Structure 1
Amino acid sequence: MNWKSVKTTVSAALAAISLTFAAAAAEPPKGGTIAAVENTKGPIKIAFLSFQNNPFWTPVTEGAAAANGYLSNSNATVDFVDLGNTLSAEAVVAGIEGALAKKYDGIVVVPIFDGTARIINEATEAGVPVFNIIAEGAAPSERLAFIGQDATSAGRQIGEYIAKRMNGKGKLGVITGYFGATQHTQRMNGAIDYLKTEFPEIEIVGPFENKDKAEAAYSLTQDMMTSNPDISMIYVTAGGPFGAAKAVKDLGLTGRVGVVGFDHTPDNMQYLKTGEMVGLLDQAPYQQALDASVMLYNYLVAGKEPPSKVIPVVGKLLTPADAK
């Protein structure tokens, strides 16, 4: 083989390798649905602002880390910023103000409360796009987009399941996360409004607030069962449903009282397998965190708009039969 033919063969091989890597780069990362476009802008920094007050946030954090690993190949970083373990509008505002001070190019955030629209608008007006995930306040903002579950519809879905499990009558205990959190209220009312209209023989006990804490859900469940021993179902709208499930187990009420809530976290799934949890609706937090970060990156480097201003996430409802 002469040198010219060797060079031709090597060039062909390198071209094939380049095509392979190009194809790989075009694929969305594992667990995500959005592929990164080519970066022709230079270094990009994204601030990812989220809370850390219960196990729900673990897949959110992992999704942000996966986005950072994926986008590092495109000269971009996704820096996770812990907003603390107390959910509040003030924490969100302070987090966004900090990201603006540090000159981040874009922000992914879980705003949750009313009172956050102003700072989101200020960031947008300053040329720093904001992508909301998981839950946002009821007041509209100039955010780039929102990805998450329709909380009212999710609440109704849970309500329909509760009515079926309770045969349309009996007592239902309700524990919400934060009374001031729009998503939590919509999840709660989505179920309660449906039940009051369609199944008036179901009596609502509560709601009570656990501030997303499992230990608070545990105590509230014990208190509810003491004052209302005929409760047959407990609906936890936000964080810590496994605390209610543990209380059911410790009270020896497995099989008589069922807990319904959100998120396929290991703590929740444990009680779904043993029967204290009887329904869990997921909201794909890992995918939300990962896809939002990549969509924001694509917008920053190529002006590529998200597919819509509101990107719905359809949850999957699991029962004990699914956990076996």
Structure 2
Amino acid sequence: MVGGEPQKKKHIIIAKFSSVITTSVICILLLALLFIPMISGDAVSGNVVAAGPFNYSHVLVILALLAAVILLLNTSKFFSSLEHVNNNAKQLASGELNISDIRLDQARGLEVLARAFNDMKSNLLSFIELTKGNVIVLSDAIDKVSRSIEMSYKGNENIADNINHVAEKAQEQLKIVNRTIEGIEDISQRVDAIITNISNIENYVEENARITRSGTEHMDQFYAQINTISDNLNNTYEFFEKLNTEIKEITEVSEFIIRISEQLKLLGINASVEASKAGEYSKGFTVVANEINQLAAKTKDGIARIQSIVESIIKNSGFVSESISSCVASFNNSKETFNTVKEFFHTINSQSALLNNGMRDIYTQINQINNFTKETNTMGEALHSASIEISQKTQEIAAVTKEELAELEKIKQNTLQLNQMLTTIQNLTRKFRTAIVPVAKTSPKKLKIAFMSPLDHTFWVSVRQGVLYAQKELEDKNVHVEYRGFPAGYTAKEFVEALNNYIEQGYDAFAAPGFFVETFPIFNRLAARGIPVISFNHDFPKDVKRLAYYGPDNYQQGVEAARLMARALNGKGNILVARRDSGIETGIHELRTKGFVEQLKSFRKIKIIGYVNVEDTYDTVYKQVKNFLDNNRNVDGIFVAGGGPTGAAQAIVEAGLKGRTKVVCFDHDKDIFKAIRDGIIYAAIGQDPFGQGHDPIIYLYNYLVAGEKPPSDHIPTRFDVVDYHNVDDLMEA
């Protein structure tokens, strides 16, 4: 409630009471006027008027009696309504907020007062649940801040120690930098000397390369001359071979001459013999024969000497030929060796060129190193200056860090005070009984409670908030509460796997909706082992054992939805029902629809003209409702038994039926509130999602620790109605 709304509603309530009192006074005056003539007689004459069968006085008496009966009935209803409102007010005054709204048909004559109480309760619930949500957020924030401050405090202590250490090291760094600068200067001098030596070596290498090139050229020339000598030796060798052949021929001729000389000698002997026989006449022939013998002898001797000389020549020629042959072979070998040497010289020449280029590169690199050394020297001097400044700054930082430590200590104290204030807020919220509270006893052993639910809609987000608040309430009671939310598109397999995983981990209790048939045997086995299970939102079948069911009375919700629809349509009109025919939440839809249909029987001018099968999504509700409205425009109200009611609102707008067709639905979120404010959704029935997340955990804890069973097999959640009367308050919350 904002602004002057409470004062305005107060005036309306006073006006309503004044109206009732005024009506009562008028009725009493009329009775007095009617009975005065009957008991006092004629006002003029003083005579009593006789009562006839059709006397005016009889009519007046009858009318007076009727008026008295009507007044009595109205007074009875008024006081009944007043009692109903009074009981609700007493509960509110005692801090009991976990109650359903006052039904307006039970507060006739006090509708404005009933709405005021409903709004007040809704605002208080909204405030307290928002406060609880904020407590969770603030508590988490305080925990994080506390941890952060603790870490910062320790970190700053380390920083302070490290800064002092850094200051000491900075002084050492100054010394190191000084030594480094001296070293860099020494390196610079050495690099200059290296540059000079490299320059000289480069000159030596260039001279060596020049000499090597000249030697290579001379070697090429010498190699050409060697080739010429080799060719000449080969020619000489061939000449001597030919000479040997010719000398051998001379030897053969000498032998021929020697044979001729032998024959001449033999002929001379024969001639002497014949001359002795001839006597005197043969003296001249004898002389000739002697001369022939002498000639043969001298020829033989000469030929012998020639042969001896030739043999000597042949022998010496053989030696020369062998020597030349050996010389040719050796020269050929030397030629190959020399060719290898020539190749080595060429290689040396190439390597000298590469060495010369490398030395030039080294010279360039050394120059760059020298330049870099000079730059490093300059930077070292800058580093020296920076080190001095760092040393000064570290001392300043050390002082600032000490101040920060003092400030962090103050923040730590403030955080503790904030935590205490948060505890106070929690204690204040406990004065308003919106949910079950945990027993004071702390569990002697570590308990583990698993809470499993979908997390694909705003409703389930509020359920999660309730779980987190239960975690907060039980944080000091040796309990671990595990929340597992399943996002959109989850499957029964995933749900069962998570459940079995918790069972394997030895969890002591479970809270889960009865959505999946596959889980029913598992929950029965848990019950047989004495592990308590509470179903919420959607109950298990009757053959599945559980400790209790915490959730809405779906049938009664359908009944209330029918009453709201009748009020929206002023008791007459055509209704379209959008509900699910199959799937995990069919049972909820069936019960709500059953309660809705059976309650509508008391409103004879309202009839249901159609059903559409939808799922709990905006898209399916929009599509099915739009298709129906395209073919049937005489729809005055739409009852959406599950999720996605804003889809029906959008279909109404597109069909041009805004202002005529009203929607009654379930659950609360900003989109639904906006559609209520726009006049499309008439009313939305809530089912306390925060309590559905919170209370099952507390009931399980109380049962495990203190043996307290839930108050009944079915713990119904309260339901709150949001319509155009209170939607603005909730939109602003």
Asked if residue 244 in structure 1 is aligned to residue 648 in structure 2, the reply is: yes
Secondary structure in structure 2 of the residue aligned to 1:118: helix
- Counterpart Cα distance in 2 of 1:47 and 1:30: 25
Match of 1:156 in 2: 559
Cα displacement (A) at 1:229: 0.9
Match of 2:628 in 1: 224
After alignment, is 140-149 or 30-39 more displaced?
30-39
Match of 2:435 in 1: 32
Cα displacement (A) at 1:139: 2.6
- Counterpart Cα distance in 2 of 1:178 and 1:60: 25
- Counterpart Cα distance in 2 of 1:140 and 1:88: 23
Alignment-mate amino acid for residue 285 of structure 1: P
After alignment, is 231-240 or 66-75 more displaced?
66-75
Partner of residue 214 from structure 1, selected from 618, 623, 634 = 618
Mapped contact 2:456–2:488 kept (Cα < 8 A): yes
Flag structure 2 segments of 5+ consecutive residues without an equivalent: 1-419, 729-733
After alignment, is 156-165 or 289-298 more displaced?
156-165
Partner of residue 471 from structure 2, selected from 58, 65, 68 = 68
Alignment-mate amino acid for residue 244 of structure 1: A
1:1-324 alignment, distance < 5 Å: 24=427, 27=430, 32-85=435-488, 93-112=496-515, 116-177=519-580, 179-180=582-583, 181-195=586-600, 197-324=601-728
Secondary structure in structure 2 of the residue aligned to 1:73: coil
Mapped contact 1:37–1:302 kept (Cα < 8 A): no
- Counterpart Cα distance in 2 of 1:30 and 1:199: 37
- Counterpart Cα distance in 2 of 1:201 and 1:63: 42
- Counterpart Cα distance in 1 of 2:512 and 2:640: 24
After alignment, is 128-137 or 89-98 more displaced?
89-98
- Counterpart Cα distance in 1 of 2:701 and 2:657: 49
TM value normalised by structure 1: 0.83
Secondary structure in structure 2 of the residue aligned to 1:255: coil
Secondary structure in structure 1 of the residue aligned to 2:703: helix
Mapped contact 1:113–1:182 kept (Cα < 8 A): no
Secondary structure in structure 1 of the residue aligned to 2:475: helix
Cα displacement (A) at 1:89: 6.5
Mapped contact 1:137–1:183 kept (Cα < 8 A): no
Deviation digits for residues 123-143 of structure 1, max 9, x if unmatched? 111232101111214434321
Specify whether residues 259 and 66 from structure 1 end up closer, same or farther in structure 2 by C-alpha distance, changes over 3 A only.
same
TM value normalised by structure 2: 0.39
Give the root-mean-square deviation of aligned CA atoms. Answer: 2.9
Mapped contact 1:177–1:239 kept (Cα < 8 A): no
Alignment-mate amino acid for residue 184 of structure 1: H
Cα displacement (A) at 1:246: 2.7
Between the aligned residues of both structures, percent identity stands at 28
Alignment-mate amino acid for residue 188 of structure 1: T
Cα displacement (A) at 1:144: 0.9
Mapped contact 1:107–1:131 kept (Cα < 8 A): yes
Secondary structure in structure 1 of the residue aligned to 2:511: strand
Cα displacement (A) at 1:262: 0.7
Cα displacement (A) at 1:305: 1.5
Stretches of 4+ aligned residues off by more than 6 angstroms:
87-91
- Counterpart Cα distance in 2 of 1:87 and 1:137: 19
Secondary structure in structure 2 of the residue aligned to 1:268: helix
- Counterpart Cα distance in 1 of 2:646 and 2:457: 11
Alignment-mate amino acid for residue 504 of structure 2: A
Secondary structure in structure 1 of the residue aligned to 2:726: helix
Cα displacement (A) at 1:303: 1.9
Cα displacement (A) at 1:185: 0.9
Cα displacement (A) at 1:32: 3.1
Cα displacement (A) at 1:50: 0.6
Does 1 or 2 have the higher relative contact order (CA < 8 Å, sep 6+)? 1
Secondary structure in structure 2 of the residue aligned to 1:38: coil
Flag structure 1 segments of 5+ consecutive residues without an equivalent: 1-16
Mapped contact 1:210–1:216 kept (Cα < 8 A): yes
Cα displacement (A) at 1:36: 4.0
- Counterpart Cα distance in 2 of 1:106 and 1:244: 39
Q: How many equivalent residue pairs?
A: 304
Match of 2:79 in 1: none
Cα displacement (A) at 1:251: 3.8
- Counterpart Cα distance in 1 of 2:443 and 2:721: 42
After alignment, is 201-210 or 47-56 more displaced?
201-210
- Counterpart Cα distance in 2 of 1:75 and 1:230: 60
Cα displacement (A) at 1:94: 4.7
Bigger helix share: 2
- Counterpart Cα distance in 2 of 1:138 and 1:207: 26
Cα displacement (A) at 1:234: 0.8
After alignment, is 84-93 or 162-171 more displaced?
84-93
Cα displacement (A) at 1:76: 1.4
Deviation digits for residues 156-181 of structure 1, max 9, x if unmatched? 11112212322343321111246342
Specify whether residues 32 and 207 from structure 1 end up closer, same or farther in structure 2 by C-alpha distance, changes over 3 A only.
same
Deviation digits for residues 86-133 of structure 1, max 9, x if unmatched? 587766555433332232111011114666543321111123210111
Specify whether residues 208 and 86 from structure 1 end up closer, same or farther in structure 2 by C-alpha distance, changes over 3 A only.
farther
- Counterpart Cα distance in 1 of 2:492 and 2:603: 35
Mapped contact 1:124–1:143 kept (Cα < 8 A): yes
- Counterpart Cα distance in 1 of 2:713 and 2:580: 26
Alignment-mate amino acid for residue 61 of structure 1: R
Secondary structure in structure 1 of the residue aligned to 2:708: coil
Match of 1:10 in 2: none
Secondary structure in structure 2 of the residue aligned to 1:77: strand
